[in-house]
Homo-oligomer: A and B are copies of this chain.
Amino acid sequence: MSTFVVIGGDAAGMSAASKAKRDTPDLDVVVFEKGAWVSYGACGLPYYIKGEIQTLEDLVSVTPEQFREERDIDLRTGHEVVDIDPDDRTVTARGDGEELVQPYDSLLIATGAAAVVPDIEGVDREGAYTLGSMTDGKELREFVARAREEGPAEQPDSGPACQQLENCNGPVGVVGGGYIGIEMAEALAANDFEVHLFQRSDRVLKAFAPETSAAVADHLESQSVSLYLGSEVQALDGDDGVEAIVTGDGERVPVEMALLGAGVRPRTDLAAAAGIELGPTGAIATDAYRETNIDDVYAAGDCAEAEHVVTGEPTYVPLALTANRHGRAIGQTVAGTPTKGGGVAGTAAVKAFEMEAARTGLSHDDAAAAGFEPVTETIEAKSRAGYYPGGGTVTVTLTADSETGRLLGGTLHSEYGEGAVHRSHGLVGAVTEGVTLSELSNYDFAYAPPFNTTWDPILTAAKVLDGTL
């Protein structure tokens, strides 16, 4: 009987374990997870902190007991793998006060990513948080609960206080204007904190089109978020806990906590120590089957890189769907049906207060760097027929290769509920299949007045950009 060992019990790991076991019930499947939580929806943490989700358990799609009892997976939570020996085909794990050596026939490394703690003075002060794990989520929710209990912030002379909001539970800082930063700004503002958001770059959501960054920035400010763009945070200052954020310009913004949303880095130490190759992105290198340079050792999820559907080059986009998809493909491969999980298009979506945005493929700059001659246009269009009640505006930015007309990527944004994100599904296939603007503009997309204009905004954008070629 063959043994499949998985290191890491979240999306990639549990998808692989479940699929392998389902397809080959007599396979032994052993999962080591160093924490207590498995198969959790970390993407839901901002909404848990916001208060829209009541317990951390709500984020768990399948419990450890279900994996063990219903899926017959030997899941060992609280067990950290400390060594991989590819020659002996064993891993060494520690847990329950002992160390054990587990042989494997196939191995999946799904160690995930860790929140980056930026190199800033004072990041170890009390009141400095990151959001990478369920524990982080719990601590942030507790911070919110404490502040709400204490009620509106004290007056300025006795410590940090709100300058702009009435009945404010205190000023807080968010360092980083990516998804996590923006989702946390929403979560904190909804709990009556005065949010100060610091972004090193001159725009938020750097992976999105600049027009979308600008629109989201305007919207954040309309929601009373104070934005500090092009602002390098130098220190989290305070006597004991965090009391202020100090920027490179010397500005000192009083805050009662700082959320550090500086992105994530792949957890690769264990793999690297075992001689498993990392790729150019710093994450674990894999082939199209997500196999590493060592036979029968796979890697997937936030610790691994994967090929981009446009360039074919390795890219690191640590998001949930890729982890699930590649985990599932590995499970199928291990169960005897070699399966490629598909590349990544760099697709991402975010809700920002009452806005939504999505992006896919290559940005203009990415495309130039990849050797294309990119052209880019942005259009605005009504989200429903002009005469239909309600509705708003969908803004679409498309980038194409001027030589071939091939669509390379795009960004959309709209009011929340007006369909920027769901519409982006229409771009993903076009980017993946190498469709030209002319072909895309002839797509027979659905139309009815309550949903769009006769030419959906995507089609209009394709026509406009095609017209510039």
**Chain A residues within CB distance 8 Å of chain B:** 11, 41, 43-44, 47, 52-53, 58-59, 61, 179, 309, 319-322, 324-325, 340-351, 356, 358, 360, 385-389, 416-417, 419, 421-426, 428-430, 432-433, 435, 439-440, 442-452, 454-456, 458-459
Q: How far is the CA of A322 from the CA of B444 in the complex (A)?
A: 7
Q: Are A445 and B321 interface neighbours, CB within 8 A?
A: yes
Are the CB atoms of B388 and A52 closer together than 8 Å? yes
Residue from the list B59, B61, B387, B421 in contact with A47, Cβ < 8 A: B387
- Does the CB pair B421–A446 fall under 8 Å? yes
In the complex the two chains form, what is the Cα distance from A386 to B61 in whole Å?
Answer: 9
Known: A342-B442, A387-B59, A429-B443. A324 touches B41 (CB 8 A): no
Cβ of A50 to closest chain B Cβ, rounded Å: 10
**Contact in complex: A388, B53 (CB < 8 Å):** yes
CB-based contact A321/B444 at 8 Å: yes
Contact A451 B433 (CB under 8 A): no
CA distance A459 to B422 in the complex (A): 13
Q: Taking the nearest CB of chain B, how far is it from the CB of A266, in angstroms?
A: 18
Contact status B416-A444, CB under 8 Å = no
- Is A449 a contact of B44 with CB atoms below 8 Å? yes
Whether the Cβ atoms of A346 and B444 lie closer than 8 Å is yes
Which residue of chain B lies nearest to A342 when distances are taken between CB atoms in the complex? B442
Contacts A324-B455, A425-B426: A446 and B348 contacting too (C-beta < 8 A)? yes
In the complex, what's the smallest C-beta–C-beta distance from A57 to chain B, in angstroms? 10
Extra pairs beyond A53-B389, A429-B433, A429-B435 (15, CB < 8 Å) = A41-B387, A47-B389, A52-B388, A321-B444, A321-B459, A324-B454, A356-B451, A417-B417, A419-B422, A422-B451, A423-B425, A425-B446, A428-B445, A429-B430, A432-B439
Bound together, the chains give a CA A68 to CA B309 distance in angstroms of 48
Q: How far is the CA of A442 from the CA of B435 in the complex (A)?
A: 17
- Which B residues lie within 8 Å of A356 (CB)? 450-451
Tell me which residues across on chain B come within 8 A of A447, comparing CB atoms. Answer: 43, 319-321, 347, 349
Closest to A416 in B: B450
Contact A385 B44 (CB under 8 A): yes
Residues of the B chain whose Cβ atoms lie less than 8 Å from the Cβ of A445: 321, 347, 424-425, 428
Q: Give every chain B residue within 8 A of A444 (Cβ-Cβ).
A: 309, 321-322, 325, 342-347, 360, 428, 432
* Residues in B neighbouring A321, C-beta threshold 8 A: 444-445, 447, 454-455, 459
